[in-house]
Structure 1
Amino acid sequence: MISRPPAVPPPAPDASSPTPERLKKQKAASLVLYSGLVLLALWVVRDFIVAVAWAGVVAIALWPLLHRVAGSRWFKGRMTLLAAVFTVVIALLVLLPVGLGVAQALHEARELSDWFRGVQESGIALPGFVERLPFGAQQIAAWWQANLAQPLRDSAAIKGLHSGTVMTLGRHFGARAVHAAMVFGFTLVTLFVIVQAGPRLSGSLLKAVRRGFGESGANLVQHMATAVRGTVAGLVVVGLGEGLLLGVAYFVTGLPHAALLGFVTAIAAMLPFCAPITFGLAALWLLAQGSVAGAIGLAVFGSIVVFVAEHFVRPVLIGNSTRLPFLLVLFGILGGAETFGLLGIFIGPALMTVLMVLWTDLVQ
């Protein structure tokens, strides 16, 4: 008979090998550690999050254009050159209008200073159109005579202009201007890095999202990018259209510097419901000059243009690209602006897109 070898006893369990319960605790501890480190990193770079967000919005909005340009024979394989050219173009598009506006303001500052010194000595004469008003002319004339027609050098308002409050406001404005310049500079640097990374960056992001959240998460991110791109297109196109139409109206009504006013109106019109401020001030200036018909015509024409653009054209442009209803587009823009400031104009519709995608998945 063939004898069987003695049975080998199973190895004793190693006390150092992790048990399933220990593995669960380790995963939970790792999750807490990673979350804490991520939150700490975000807190460290909190002052630069706005710059990164702005750079991301610009890159997402112009990503299709960048993809086409990168495939041309001039920039193929030269992502650093493309990033440099693209960043310089964006910087010029922002800095040139601001520089022109500052130069024009400095040019007008001397005339404004002379006018201010004159009204300090002699007051402000009652505009002629006040006497032709159908009602309230006597009350307005009496108030004007008591407050503005007399020399203003001794008035409380003029004395307040020389107080410490104005100095405080000036320092606050200067600090905000320096902060905005720093954010703009870091935005350009971040934009250069994003464009230089090119498709590798977008591919890595989508790969990470797929690993963490699956294919549905990747689709959601793509929908959000489409929402940001559509919002930028809607704001810019509508703003330029409003600025062009109202610029023509400024020229027809005889306003000085109609082209500059049209450009300022276009910039203001890119923000929801800000265009009425510009053409409203222009209409008041015409009214003060005695052009009642021009002021009324500009106010009516501007109101019609803004109403059509804000309530029909802009929601259609944004809603068609994101497939969002008009109400969600409007709430997203206004609510985002109120919550996150100017950057929220682009974040709001993206978040509304997330809600729409989740709702669609639930009802299907």
Structure 2
Amino acid sequence: MLKLRQPMDVPQILLSVLFLSVMIIACLWIVRPFILGFAWAGTVVIATWPVLLRLQRLLWGKRSLAVLVMTLLLILLFVIPIALLVNSVVDNSAPVIKWVSSGQMTLPDLVWLNSIPMVGDKLYLGWHNLLDSGGSAIMAKARPYIGTTTGWFIGQAAHVGRLLMHLGLMLLFSIVLYWRGEQVVNGIRHFAFRLASKRGDAAVLLAAQAIRAVALGVVVTALVQGILGGVGLAVSGIPYATLLTVVMILTSLIQIGPLPVLVPAIIWLYWSGDATWGTVLLAWSAVVGTLDNFIRPVLIRMGADLPMILILSGVIGGLIAFGMIGLFIGPVVLAVSWRLYSVWVHEAPPPQTPPDEAVEELDGSENEVVNK
């Protein structure tokens, strides 16, 4: 018996899709304040999950004791240092903002150039010729942009309350994820499998590898280099060492390294006559500046190899989009997307036809269609 095909109920389909869309948007709107904190916690937990399992084996298989130790470690090594650094940025940046916004910022006279043997007089004369030919006018035109840019960066760091709220949420969600990590992973994998079968399950695992690569190979390396560089600055007596530590962490995150901060500090120490501490800081900077060559490959090998331009874009874009917390979230989002895209593209073999032949085949197909 032939069964007639039932007509499609278009209004029912449209209303169903509309209802689901409204529910999804409403749910995202409700949990919106917690999304960044949860994403931050997920990054931390995925990167440190092997440490939790090792602690659990050492603590007689007790998950509760392992979670307690990991929570204390997060507070001591992560939450407190970041809170202190951000507060220090706000406190130490007040003189800089006042100086920039006062309108009294001019190019320096650089009298010390005269003391340079052989070429000092020429350098000093050339510098003052530049000032006389419009250097002050250039500085006057650049001052509003410098003030706006500096104010924007400081404003991002000045959201102490927001950042501390995300830190608290990160700590709370990390405790939950440490305690119920296996159940959360199984739930995510189940959803991904239901959504895209085996590809969805594999995508979740690839995303975890990318997150671990960024968290370990980039963020941890930047924190280690920045903090060690800051210790060297503080011991050597460099002023605003804490603020410069934050700058070194940022430069290390964007793969420049801490040397753009350490080298001027060394020059300043030698120029001020403190050759002993200048030599100490020089030796310390040689160690800190090359530390990433040894740490990053070991840590990235635990996750997935990622292009450095991807990390740079993630850091800058994350900072603009989400503020200070975007330094950690931005690279993770781009790394996960890149890994999924890369695997999807490489499921098909690359084209073997030379470019000229491919264009000729396409032109031939178009001519056949026109002739028909």
Larger Rg: 1
> Which structure would you say has the larger RCO, counting Cα contacts within 8 Å and 6 or more residues apart?
2
Residue 190 of structure 2: which of 207, 212, 219 is its match? 207
The equivalent residue for 1:339 is 317
- Code of the residue aligned with 1:48 in structure 2: it is F
| Distance in 2 separating the partners of 1:248 and 1:91 | 20
Q: For each residue in 1:33-70, what CA deviation from the matched residue of structure 2 results, as whole angstroms up to 9, or x when unmatched?
A: 22321122212332322111111110111122223333
- Code of the residue aligned with 1:333 in structure 2: it is I
Conserved? CA contact 1:241–1:266, under 8 Å: no
In structure 2, do the counterparts of structure 1 residues 100 and 315 end up closer, same or farther at CA, with 3 Å as the change threshold?
closer
Unaligned 5+ segments in structure 1 are: 1-18, 113-119, 145-155
Identity within the alignment, %: 24
Conserved? CA contact 1:83–1:193, under 8 Å: no
The equivalent residue for 2:77 is 93
Conserved? CA contact 2:189–2:201, under 8 Å: yes
| Distance in 2 separating the partners of 1:95 and 1:179 | 14
- Pairwise CA distance, 1:224: 1.1
Conserved? CA contact 1:227–1:321, under 8 Å: no
In structure 2, do the counterparts of structure 1 residues 248 and 84 end up closer, same or farther at CA, with 3 Å as the change threshold?
closer
TM-score with structure 1 setting the length: 0.64
| Distance in 1 separating the partners of 2:36 and 2:129 | 51
- Code of the residue aligned with 2:209 in structure 1: it is T
2:337 is equivalent to residue 351 of structure 1: yes
In structure 2, do the counterparts of structure 1 residues 21 and 92 end up closer, same or farther at CA, with 3 Å as the change threshold?
farther
List aligned pairs for 1:321-332, cutoff 5 A: 321=302, 324=305, 329-332=307-310
Answer with 280-289 or 179-188: which moved more.
280-289
- Pairwise CA distance, 1:24: 7.6
Unaligned 5+ segments in structure 2 are: 97-103, 132-139, 320-326, 351-372
Conserved? CA contact 2:214–2:335, under 8 Å: yes
- Code of the residue aligned with 1:216 in structure 2: it is R
| Distance in 2 separating the partners of 1:192 and 1:244 | 26
* SS of match in other structure, 2:62: coil
Residue 37 of structure 1: which of 14, 18, 23 is its match? 23
- Pairwise CA distance, 1:207: 1.3
RMSD: 5.4
In structure 2, do the counterparts of structure 1 residues 338 and 212 end up closer, same or farther at CA, with 3 Å as the change threshold?
same
| Distance in 2 separating the partners of 1:174 and 1:248 | 21
Task: Tell me the number of residue pairs that the alignment of Structure 1 and Structure 2 aligns.
Answer: 321
List aligned pairs for 1:80-229, cutoff 5 A: 81-98=65-82, 128=112, 130-132=114-116, 134=119, 135-138=122-125, 140=127, 172=155, 176-229=159-212
Conserved? CA contact 2:314–2:334, under 8 Å: yes
- Pairwise CA distance, 1:314: 7.5
